[in-house]
Amino acid sequence: MSVIRFERVGHAFGDERVVDGVTLELAERRVGIVGANGSGKSTLARMVNGLVTPTEGRVEVDGLDVARYGREVRRRVGFVFTNADTQIVMPTVREDVAFTLRRHRLSPADAAARVDATLERFGLTGLADRPAHRLSGGQKQLLALASVLVGEPSIVVADEPTTLLDARNARRIAEHFEALDQQLVVVSHQLELLESFDRVIVMEAGRVVADDEPRPALDAYRALIG
């Protein structure tokens, strides 16, 4: 199991301090992060793989300082965005999944086999040669997840991965997340998704205000938002 460590982490955008004095050690299989809009959840999540750098304190993944060892950390930590369009970078479905492996030093045959197996796993084989940007929202989110997982990260961080999807696709994506072998950190407003998790962190104005098993943590969150 990997360990994500936040040590007195803060982040300010200009004068606005959006993450403030967060110390956490996350080593559970499934960790959820909830909080009101603007409470700093995305900023915190993005610090795990260096998309955002702390302005105070440090974040480590398996002892690696994310600010210094970004490349190594990003090999271990896959990030899934809310809007799959943000992370689809290649013209076709197959090329997008293959793009993740460009620095993995695999032989072309091994890389192709891994891509094919991943497409199959996410039900994307029949769409492999389609333009990625013309997929439906649900298919795009499956592609985004496939493109992350083909790199075999040990941790997957997802920032509201089901928010833009209809109920059926949200359920499908949630099932894929539930089936992952990887350690998972998920930011979500969809509280039922987090009920089966090992630990839930509640953020309020940049601080951790509850950190517990899902039931008490989600109760604390519901009380907080009234």
Ligand X SMILES: Nc1ncnc2c1ncn2[C@@H]1O[C@H](COP(=O)(O)OP(=O)(O)OP(=O)(O)O)[C@@H](O)[C@H]1O
> Cα separation of 194 and 213, whole Å?
10
- Under the binding rule (CB under 6 A), the answer on residue 71 touching ligand X is no
- Under the binding rule (CB under 6 A), the answer on residue 42 touching ligand X is yes
- Under the binding rule (CB under 6 A), the answer on residue 49 touching ligand X is no
The residue range among 36-44, 67-75, 142-150, 171-179 that interacts with ligand X, by the rule CB under 6 A, is 36-44
- Under the binding rule (CB under 6 A), the answer on residue 35 touching ligand X is yes
Take residue 204 and report the two structure tokens written for it: 């309020």
Shortest distance (Å) from residue 115 CB to ligand X:
32
- Under the binding rule (CB under 6 A), the answer on residue 39 touching ligand X is yes
Q: Around Cβ 131, how many Cβ atoms within 10 Å?
A: 12
In this complex, which beta carbon is closest to ligand X, that of residue 92 or of residue 190?
Answer: 190
In this complex, which beta carbon is closest to ligand X, that of residue 18 or of residue 66?
Answer: 18
Shortest distance (Å) from residue 14 CB to ligand X:
7
In this complex, which beta carbon is closest to ligand X, that of residue 39 or of residue 100?
Answer: 39
In this complex, which beta carbon is closest to ligand X, that of residue 43 or of residue 169?
Answer: 43
Radius of gyration (C-alpha) of the chain in whole angstroms: 17
Among 37, 102, 105, 179, binds ligand X (CB under 6 A): 37
Take residue 197 and report the two structure tokens written for it: 């998790």
> Cα separation of 7 and 21, whole Å?
8
In this complex, which beta carbon is closest to ligand X, that of residue 59 or of residue 135?
Answer: 59
Report which residue type is found at 205.
Answer: A
The residue range among 32-40, 86-94, 174-182, 209-217 that interacts with ligand X, by the rule CB under 6 A, is 32-40
Q: Give residues with Cβ within 8 angstroms of 21, minimum separation 6.
A: 8, 9, 10, 57, 207
Are 56 and 9 in contact by the 8 Å Cβ rule? The answer is: yes
Report which residue type is found at 32.
Answer: G
* Number of residues assigned to the chain: 226
In Å, how far are 98, 119, 128, 153, 170 from 185, measured between CA atoms? 24, 23, 28, 13, 17
Shortest distance (Å) from residue 16 CB to ligand X:
6
Among 23, 38, 103, 222, binds ligand X (CB under 6 A): 38
How far does Cα 202 stand from its chain's mean position? 17
- The site for ligand X (CB under 6 A) is made up of 13, 18, 35, 37-43
